[in-house]
């Protein structure tokens, strides 16, 4: 496959005046030309979700990346997700539209500090949420996502002490579900921490028949009012099958696009953040990806994920363990 070369002035911008639908056509054309697969997370803007070959949660997207046969994987999500795709596909080109699309959980768990934390708790099995860097994965025994975390913890012998990182709220939720004590790294998601218990309760008073569904990255003060707690895919499935006509959704609001598409007769209300004047229930990292950047990364096959082989292999081991331990999820 011939790769484009950067011009003298660097990578060119899309042709000025390209309209939304023209960009979409160009993206479809380039996807074919490059033999590329587009994986998108539910938190991506709706236009990107609609163009994707596979929309999913972190586990679903890791599995889709594992099965990929295309020459190029375009990952419309955040950096750690594209990194997982590269860890599983060293021979394929993996690009993401905006290389700076990080994650407050991954950024809040620097590898050096994590090493000190592990040294302070010797003899523990280290279970890390997939929202972390390759370097943190390489120091972990097993990776988990929000859809398999409980199942994975339950498979570890009860007398074995466990460190859970980097999301303390997911860790607390899992500890409660599995009836285990976990040593928690004190990280959190900037989006899920903004939901306000007080405002959600006020909303429930205005919609007495509404159900509340929440992602386990939310604080316990929100989770305790939820009719259902689950990963983004689990929330979507629940939203479609629940008998409730109105559902309050406590997770990033991008998922409402898939919910409204799959259950158009229902009313979905985004859970309110504490400060309702901000768009705090949109992940600023996920939203860095735009149609324009998606077009550019397909055209230029940049920015690319690259990993040193020893780091890739060390980070792959706990991901493989997760995939082995999550059959049936
Ligand atoms: P899921 O695995 O549920 O998609 O969660 C990913 C994420 O980043 C949640 O904030
Ligand atoms: Fe990270 Fe939170 Fe954004 Fe998910 S929503 S990618 S956990 S910052």
Do both 66 and 120 map to the same domain?
no
Do both 87 and 27 map to the same domain?
yes
Do both 167 and 32 map to the same domain?
no
**Is 256 inside a domain boundary?**
yes
What pLDDT is recorded for position 329? 86
Token pair listed for 137: 């994965």
Do both 14 and 73 map to the same domain?
yes
Alpha carbon distance 107, 4 (integer Å): 32
Rg (CA), the chain: 20
Alpha carbon distance 269, 275 (integer Å): 16
Number of folded domains that form the chain: 3
Q: Is 250 in the pocket of ligand 2 (CB under 6 A)?
A: no
What pLDDT is recorded for position 274? 84
Q: Is 169 in the pocket of ligand 2 (CB under 6 A)?
A: no
Do both 19 and 65 map to the same domain?
yes
**Is 2 inside a domain boundary?**
no
Do both 71 and 210 map to the same domain?
no
**Is 55 inside a domain boundary?**
yes
**Is 279 inside a domain boundary?**
no
Do both 144 and 206 map to the same domain?
no
Pocket test for ligand 2, best of 78, 83, 168 (most atoms within 8 A of CB): 78
Whether 180 contacts 158, CB under 8 Å:
yes
Going by their DSSP bridges, the two strands 93-95 and 183-184 should be labelled as unpaired
What pLDDT is recorded for position 17? 63
- SS3 state at 105: helix
**Is 260 inside a domain boundary?**
yes
State the residue range of the domain holding 138.
105-190+314-325
Do both 91 and 138 map to the same domain?
no
Residue 80 sits at φ, ψ, to 5 deg, of -65, -30
**Is 246 inside a domain boundary?**
yes
Do both 130 and 181 map to the same domain?
yes
The closest of 239, 213, 262, 214 to 55, measured between CA atoms, is 262
116 contacts: CB under 8 Å, gap ≥ 6? none
Q: Is 315 in the pocket of ligand 2 (CB under 6 A)?
A: no
Alpha carbon distance 279, 301 (integer Å): 31
Angle at which helix 58-67 crosses helix 79-88, to 10 degrees, equals: 30
Do both 252 and 227 map to the same domain?
yes
CA of 105 to the centre of ligand 2 (A): 7
CA of 119 to the centre of ligand 1 (A): 28
Sequential pLDDT tens for the chain (329 residues): 334 444 333 345 555 567 778 899 999 999 999 999 999 999 999 999 999 999 999 999 999 999 999 999 999 999 999 999 999 999 999 999 999 999 999 999 999 999 999 999 999 999 999 999 999 999 999 999 999 999 999 999 999 999 999 999 999 999 999 999 999 999 999 999 999 999 999 999 999 999 999 999 999 999 999 999 999 999 999 999 999 999 999 999 999 999 999 999 999 999 998 888 888 899 999 999 999 999 999 999 999 999 999 999 999 999 999 999 998 88
Token pair listed for 69: 């046969």
Do both 266 and 294 map to the same domain?
no
Find the residues whose C-beta lies inside 6 A of ligand 1.
57-58, 131, 145-146, 189, 215, 217, 231-232
CATH of the domain at 202: 3.40.50.10800
Do both 20 and 96 map to the same domain?
yes
- SS3 state at 95: strand
Q: pTM score, two decimals?
A: 0.93
**Is 29 inside a domain boundary?**
yes
Q: Which residue in this structure is represented by tokens 């929330």?
A: 235
Other C-beta atoms closer than 10 Å to the C-beta of 70 total: 16
**Is 169 inside a domain boundary?**
yes
């Amino acid at each position: 496959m011939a790769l484009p070369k950067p011009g003298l002035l660097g990578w060119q911008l899309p042709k000025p005046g390209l309209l939304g639908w023209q960009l979409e056509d160009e993206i479809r054309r380039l996807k074919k030309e490059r033999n590329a697969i587009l994986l998108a997370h539910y938190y991506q803007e709706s236009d990107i979700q609609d163009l994707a070959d596979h929309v999913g949660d972190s586990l679903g997207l890791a599995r889709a990346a594992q099965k990929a046969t295309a020459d190029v994987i375009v990952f419309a999500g955040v950096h750690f997700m594209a990194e997982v795709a590269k860890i599983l596909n060293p021979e394929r080109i993996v690009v993401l539209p905006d290389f700076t699309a990080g994650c407050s959980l991954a950024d809040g768990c620097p590898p050096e500090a994590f090493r000190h934390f592990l040294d302070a708790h010797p003899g523990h099995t280290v279970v890390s949420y997939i929202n972390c860097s390759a370097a943190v994965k390489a120091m972990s025994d097993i990776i988990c996502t929000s859809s398999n975390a409980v199942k994975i913890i339950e498979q570890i012998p009860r007398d074995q002490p466990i460190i859970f990182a980097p999301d303390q709220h997911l860790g607390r939720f899992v500890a409660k579900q599995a009836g285990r004590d976990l040593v928690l790294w004190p990280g959190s998601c900037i989006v899920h921490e903004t939901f306000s218990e007080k405002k959600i309760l006020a909303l429930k008073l205005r919609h007495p028949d509404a159900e509340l569904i929440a992602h386990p990255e939310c604080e316990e003060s929100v989770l305790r009012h939820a009719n259902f707690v689950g990963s983004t895919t689990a929330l979507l499935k629940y939203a479609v099958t629940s008998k409730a006509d109105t559902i309050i959704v406590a997770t990033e609001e991008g998922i409402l696009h898939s919910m409204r598409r799959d259950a158009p007769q229902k009313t979905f209300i985004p859970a309110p953040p504490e400060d309702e004047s901000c768009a705090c229930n949109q992940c600023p990292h996920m939203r860095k990806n735009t149609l324009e950047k998606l077009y550019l990364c397909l055209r230029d096959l940049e920015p690319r994920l690259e990993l040193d082989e020893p780091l890739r292999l060390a980070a792959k081991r706990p991901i493989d363990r997760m995939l082995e331990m999550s059959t049936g999820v």
